[in-house]
Amino acid sequence: MKNYISILGLILASTAMQAQEINDALRYSQTEPLGTARFRALSGAFGAVGGDLSAINLNPASSVIFNNNQVAFTLSNYNTKNNSDYFGTRTSDSNNSLDLGQAGGVFVFENHHESDWKKFALALNYENQNNFDNSLFISGTNPTNSIDDYFLNYANGIELRTLKNFNFEELSFREQQAYLAYWAFIIDPIPLASDPTNYDNPNITQYSSAIVPGDFYHENSVETTGYNGKLAFNASANYQDKLMIGINLNSHFSDYVRNSSFFESNDNNTSTDTYVKRVYFDNSLHTYGNGFSFQLGAILKLSNQFRVGATYESPTWHRLTDELMQSVAAVSGDNTSELPADIVDPNLTMVFAPYTIQTPGKITGSAAIIFGKQGFISVDYSAKDYSSMRLKPENDYASDNNRIENLFTTSNELRIGGEYKVNQWSLRAGFRSETSPYKDEDMMGDLTGYSGGIGYNFGGTKLDLAYSTSERDYGYQMFSTGLTDRAKSTIKNNNVTVTLSFEL
């Protein structure tokens, strides 16, 4: 059984295995145009059209476009493929999952009294904003850098007495990384100049590597699961059949699990068995929590053919908790013999103090041309300033927030979609383009996506099917400090979505 240790008020250093790390703040700030099959088939270009339950999550005024009460349920198949290149070695891994992507309903109320307010609507809709199911495998030979750089970056400056006299659960995160490396004999103390022969002096604060420089073969396997979901409580109204306004109060739910296994080997030592030749470093992170946001939206009918829309989406304030397990093993030896593995496995789940991630707000402008009952063409344009992401309490994460401001920029997204109806059939297609949230596009490139779908109206029941695909390049770092060499990776998402909706 796992042992759970709670450390309240602990200030943690940044690492690729913690939700406080800025790239993980990005994970909760980015969303995908998931939801109903009709919404996905148009790549989410619905801001001035409305009349779809997922469109409500884009523009709250969308619900009052409905003519009748309606409920809908959506299943989505997520297929993710990662292709990576690490120092010339190419690898590929993929993941496939099935999930409930959307469920909700809208209730429309006609105003039969003399009033400029013609209609009202209330809606409740849940949908995934992100599916975290993914598999990544990277391997290759690094010509210069070893995992020892990661551990040394944390260890140097920590007194030896701390590593020898305290238990793992009593240490800060930084001290824990040093503890793992010290007791696995990956790092060795450097004696003080005043006491050059004493390797056990408790005042020692500097360490050297027990790994011989040279080439290093690396493997890193990462499996992630989870979701970021949003439950929208919506209200909207129609004024003079020209102006639609709406508001969403959103409750967010997040659950993310990341299991990574890192392996390093080398044949650099040929003379003595006291140097490390293999390292195994396992991390298991569970991040969970909830959040709140709100949205304000409007749709204006300029004529029967032309509509424009605007939406303001507030930042989301996520309150999150991390649970982390770590273990390391190291094998020393030369080219003819090996010593037994030195294994450091505290078998503890560290439960860290809750923290807050504030995501960026977003502004969306929309326009649509309506061709009567035959169809429409819709365009959405959104802007989101990722440099406004914040980790809180801000006093505890001042350096991280400063890095966020320096690394990130405003990302712009263009979505174009169209629908054409032939009797009971609807034909749909969409395009999506999103610029990088990073100033350095080598860290993450632009995204390009395409979509298409069909729908059939049985009368009071509708069945919709959509296929969407998107692709983006990014630079993957195994660790955020020390061993920071990037693999060049491409992630491709292919999704099939089915929605069944009923008029009530």
Residue 15 is predicted with a pLDDT of 36
CA-closest candidate to residue 386, choices 59, 58, 31: 31
Which positions ≥6 away from 96 have C-beta within 8 Å?
Answer: 77, 78, 79, 80
pLDDT single digits (tens) 183-219 = 999 999 999 999 999 999 999 999 999 999 999 999 9
CA-closest candidate to residue 382, choices 361, 405, 406, 407: 361
Which positions ≥6 away from 418 have C-beta within 8 Å?
Answer: 42, 375, 376, 377, 378, 428, 429, 430
pLDDT single digits (tens) 468-493 = 999 999 999 999 889 999 999 999 99
Residue 8 is predicted with a pLDDT of 38
pTM (predicted TM-score): 0.91
Whole-number Cα distances in Å, 492 to 80, 117, 151, 204, 445: 6, 46, 33, 49, 13
**Pairing verdict, β 355-358 and 317-332:** antiparallel
Distance CA 353, CA 173 (A): 12
pLDDT single digits (tens) 444-461 = 999 999 999 999 999 999
Report whether 417 contacts 455 (CB < 8 A). Answer: no
Which positions ≥6 away from 90 have C-beta within 8 Å?
Answer: 83, 84
pLDDT single digits (tens) 292-314 = 999 999 999 999 999 999 999 99
Whole-number Cα distances in Å, 493 to 135, 467, 469: 12, 11, 5
For the chain, give percent helix, strand, coil, nearest 5: 15, 55, 30
The whole-number average pLDDT for the span 157-180 is 95
Distance CA 301, CA 35 (A): 25
Report whether 282 contacts 260 (CB < 8 A). Answer: yes
pLDDT single digits (tens) 35-65 = 999 999 999 999 999 999 999 999 999 999 9
What string of H, E and C letters represents the secondary structure of 64-102?
HHCCCCEEEEEEEEEEEEEEEEECCEEEEEEEEEEEEEE
Residue 369 is predicted with a pLDDT of 97
Residue 33 is predicted with a pLDDT of 81
Mean pLDDT for all residues in the chain: 92
Distance CA 62, CA 299 (A): 8
Task: Write the DSSP string, 376-421.
Answer: EEEEEEEEEEGGG-EEESTTTTHHHHHHHHHHB-EEEEEEEEEEEE
Confidence bin at 3 (pLDDT 50/70/90): low
How many CB atoms are closer than 10 A to CB 494? 16
Using the predicted structure, report yes or no on whether residue 12 has a pLDDT greater than 90: no
CA-closest candidate to residue 55, choices 295, 291, 251: 295
Distance CA 23, CA 488 (A): 16
Residue 489 is predicted with a pLDDT of 96
The whole-number average pLDDT for the span 391-404 is 89
What string of H, E and C letters represents the secondary structure of 142-169?
ECCCCCHHHHHHHHCCCCHHHHHHCCHH
pLDDT single digits (tens) 81-98 = 999 999 999 999 999 999
The whole-number average pLDDT for the span 377-403 is 93
User: Would you state the structure tokens that stand for residue 352, as one six-digit string?
Assistant: 């860290």
